[in-house]
Structure 1
Amino acid sequence: MEEAIFKSSVLHGFVYVNEAFARMFGYESKETMLSTQPINLYNSKVERDLLLARVSRQGKVSNVLMSYRREDGSSFWGRLSVSLISEKGGDFLVGTITDVTIQQEQNEQLQENEQQLRNAQQLAKLGNWRVFPSDKRVEWSGECAHIHGFLATDYQDSFNIWLQGFEDISHIEIEQGIKRSKQMNDAFEFGSWYTIPGGAKKFLYYICGIEGEGDDERWFGTVQDRTELKNQELELISTQEFYQNILDNIPVESILIDENLKYHYISRNAIKDAELREWMIGKTNKDYSDYRKLKEDFTQVRDEMVAKAMQGDLTIRWEENMKTGDGRDTYHIRNLVPITLIQDQKPKKFLIGYSFDINDIKRAQFRLEDRNEELNQLNKELDRFVYSISHDLRAPIASVLGLNSLAEDTADREELDTVLAMQREALDRLDLYIRDVIDYSRNKRMAVQSEDVCLRKIVDDCMADLVYQTNYNKIDYFIEIEEQTCIQSDKLRIKIIVNNLLSNAIKYADSAKDNSFISIRAEWKEKGVTLIIEDNGIGIKEDYKDKIWDIFFRGTSTIPGSGLGLYILKESVKNLNGEIDFISKEGEGTTFKIFIPEQTV
């Protein structure tokens, strides 16, 4: 229930109301509400005046039940809490109102029903009795004497004989309860086991009242022998608790469905929420599906299984997948067994349902399937890796061998220098390829090692390693990372990430541009840091954007490379539980963004 808040001047009316206040009284807006006089909101001017007088005396009141009137003339009940404050400009009332109309109507209905019950019992004259506490005298009807096992005239001290028979309530508690009922203007009711003079035990239920005062005070009421009902109730409770305790403690979900396909019983293991479990009794699978907002096929499958078991008199079993309230998948084996039970002296058909949680089995199955998928992927990568290694390693070695033969056959110094430069280029390609293979191997087999990693030092070290790379001196570098920008993470993998991105940015610089640049900056985010590397190089073709993460993919054959760099980069980010994204336009440049989460030490 939403609280309605207001502030009003004692003399001039409202100065503030919230939206809830305006809605509660049926006004279209707060502004319209503010122009309304508070007295118009009360059904009784007298009650309002009494309330204001009380607030004036006490300074505040809390939780006062009041009858209010909406703009359309309809009434409702509200609980008012208000305080009187003094501010510059006068006295003000500040408080809240809570709509309790439903609760009030329920209370009134309950009181009316209880009164009707008491009237019916009094009209039936079941065990009428009167007691005069001052002179310890008892008077009761013949039925009342039969219930208690003695006439009021059998004993000189019948009052104390009567009181001694109660087992669950004392003389003092009876007296206090009856006198309190007078103050509350209500009856005092209680039930107790009672021992009659012959020794037999009965369960008696009393409805008591009081009239008169002082020596004329009299207790009166009715009494009903509910022994048979109480014993049946206790037996039923005992039997129900016995079997329910068994069903609730067996690690199986149990239900009972009647011939109308409605739930007749649900065990605690089936639905742990007691309120939902109680609500489900008498409901169908469709009701449950609508309540949980499940997919339509859920109800269809269950109803098909229930109908098949009920109509075909068959035991049915199936596997069911459901989602928990927080979105997790759960798996069960469901079973339905038809049985016939006697209800209201007639044979009726039911379905006993029981199910087993197979989440552990399914998780193991999914892990096995994932592992098989990983192994299949690894086998594919291994095949490609072996092929690429044999091809890409052999090419520069063959070039060196061929150039070596040329060097042996020439005596010209200038030609020899050219051959040696070509050999160096081939060996550089081989060295780069071997480094990528080493990075690939390290990323695959090494666990994540958390340590304090300073990003500026990582960038500086990578720049130093790349200083001899072609195009390095033709580019302007902008590094916007503070010296103290550090994060708990895996130093090796962060270096692999930074080195690959910088190497690619240098390698794929656009030689047609006069001012090539590479920008490197870091931005702190919640629970991690985002590394941003931007360049104005040749960019990535639109057709290649979905392929750049593939192992051994190369966008061009004119620039040397292994095709491993971005694949290793993506795998390194994945191992750090990070995220990577990029935007690129051919001919304009590329920006990579890598989120690196803080690792637990």
Structure 2
Amino acid sequence: MDGAGRLLDTQLMNQAYNKKAHSKLIELNDELENYFNNTIIPQLFVDANMILRKFTPPAMRHFKLTADDIGKSIVDVSSNIRFPTFVENITEVIASNKDLEKEIQTTDKRWYQMNILPYIVRKENRTNGVIVTFIDIDDRIQILKGYESLNRNYENIIHSISHDIKGPLSNIEGLVRLMQEEAEDEEDSQRIKDMLSESVANLRQTVEELADIQASDTGFAQAPERVNFENIIEDAKLALRDRIAETGAEISTHIEEPEISFSRKNVRSIVYNLLNNAIKYQKPGNIPVISVRTEKAGDYVLLTVRDNGTGIAEDKKYSIFERYTRLHNEVPGTGVGLFIVKGMVEQMGGEIQLESTLGEGSTFKVFFKSVQ
């Protein structure tokens, strides 16, 4: 074969390679476009020159972005995000090549968990931009604030009762001692009985006033709506992303009953707490393996969360639902998570059950009474 023939063969081979590479790029771009078009999470892709290259449909709705914003500097569209240090945070991640995660409140007073991840070109070991994800946690923040407020009310009640009933109790104790004295005439006896009756009435009124929790105090946890379990589970997994990555947790789902009419903020908090506990209380040396299942159970929708963690001893199965109960002091926590979950479920007519074997794992079953 002469030189011209070899040159022609080389050109044909290069054309075939370029065609294959171009086809692969188109395929990868189609996959990326498909992901961005179908994800339920608001996401932005900003390149290293601070140019907005892509965003998901939820981001368009949440932040009122349009197709005309593609190709603009993120500085020019950051006012849509309404978070004052947004641009500075992107610049920080590009410069450091490190993830940034924070809970933010936008100027419209809604709360998000913002994750900014560097988009790294591996061959060149440089950051070519960032992917910004926003998880709407406003419902979770508001319900936690509500229960924090409710817990403070309970604490105030306990402190008030311990202080305010001392006086009436002292009066009753003194009157009882007088009645026990032998030298009493009938008139004195009746007077003491009247005073004792009055003191008991005053004590009862004091306790009732201190312990009066109005329905409005827990109204923040109501407002039912149609809730999609898969969306809620994905929200919880994204919020627990670092813990999942750190432990290697494997979470599988089997959704037979996809939706429920319930308070969305309650369902989110319930799922988050149960998944968080399943990861937190992993068995030493084991990767957390967690399964989440929903199904119909008579008049209820049953959510089951099963793990292979440390398990719970038989004599502790009921106390873990009590406020401030902690079985493992070496694991960070406040001891109110399951107390809150139980309150949410029972407040709406449902029930939570626990099956557990120490050292083998636990299964939490939440029976939701669907609100029509």
TM-score by length of 2: 0.41
Between Structure 1 and Structure 2, the one with more strand by share is 1
Compute the TM-score of the two structures, normalised by the length of structure 1: 0.26
